[in-house]
């Protein structure tokens, strides 16, 4: 389950009953992943939308994906 509040989101894993909070950028990434999309395409969209170095965006994207995978909220194929 996901609940958006003021541009941020809270994810609830019903199986483990654990919460996972996302800031506005994380919420945007979550929305892009729901399409589904390749990480390369998500990275390109984020680079177009945000004023940050592509390397920084890529590192932050991978870190969030790793955390979501560890929490069992996404699967990477």
Whether the CB-CB separation of 32 and 9 falls below 8 Å is answered with: no
Residues 6+ apart with CB under 8 A from 7: 24, 27
The per-residue pLDDT for 52 is 95
What does the pLDDT profile of the chain (77 residues) look like in tens digits?
A: 777 878 888 887 777 777 888 899 998 998 898 866 789 999 999 999 999 999 999 999 999 999 888 888 888 88
And the tokens for 54? Answer: 């592509």
pTM (2 d.p.): 0.82
And the tokens for 3? Answer: 């609940």
What CA–CA distance (Å, rounded) separates 62 from 77? 14
Chain position carrying tokens 């991978």: 62
């Amino acid at each position: 389950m996901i609940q958006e509040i003021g541009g941020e989101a809270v994810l609830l894993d019903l199986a483990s009953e654990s919460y996972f909070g996302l800031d506005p950028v994380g919420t945007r990434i979550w929305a892009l992943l729901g399409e589904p999309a390749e990480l390369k395409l998500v990275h390109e969209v984020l680079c177009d939308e945000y004023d940050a170095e592509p390397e920084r965006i890529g590192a932050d994207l991978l870190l969030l994906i790793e955390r979501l995978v560890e929490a069992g909220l996404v699967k990477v194929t």
